[in-house]
Amino acid sequence: MTAHAMTTVPMSGVRGAIARALDVLGRFPLPLLQLMFRLAVASVFLKAGLIKIRSWETTVQLFADEYKVPVLSPDLAATMAATFELGCATLLILGLGTRLATLPLLGMIVVIQTFVYPNAYAEHLTWASILIFLLTRGGGPWSLDKALGLEPEARR
């Protein structure tokens, strides 16, 4: 039997049911996944940025006492963090400059993982995985990037 003929032979039993289920799962729309990823990771950073600006003095004090980011003053580190969190989260929600917006957030994750909360790797790995997906695949067809012609046609 040829390889082509084998792929067209219907499977039965458990293997057939698994193959059919995987086929259905493989049809999950990538644009919906890209939108969900953008909104999910944006919500994490947007919330963090809003908390920072709600009580600025407390935020700067946290950067001085707990976060202790090397090289940067607490005020500058807090300003950069809040700016990137709010700005990049907004861009991800809109799907505007999606790939570019992932870069500062990935940088923040590296800094936080390395210097601030080294034991929070599970959350950081989750966020970084989503951001790397968006960096490499873009915001998808349901984004301003696509509407404005800033994203190339999807590869098949």
Residue pLDDT, tens place only, 61-110? 999 999 999 999 999 999 999 999 999 999 999 999 999 999 999 999 99
**Cα dihedral 41, 35, 33, 152 sign:** negative
The Cβ of residue 18 has, within 10 Å, a number of other Cβ atoms equal to: 11
Q: What is the pLDDT of residue 153?
A: 75
Residues 107-151 have pLDDT tens digits of 999 999 999 999 999 999 999 999 999 999 999 999 999 999 998
Q: What is the pLDDT of residue 10?
A: 64
In sequence order, which residues have a C-beta less than 8 Å from that of residue 88 and are 6 or more positions away?
42, 45, 101, 102, 104, 105
pLDDT above 60 (res 3): no
pLDDT above 80 (res 154): no
The CA distance from 84 to 22, in Å, is: 39
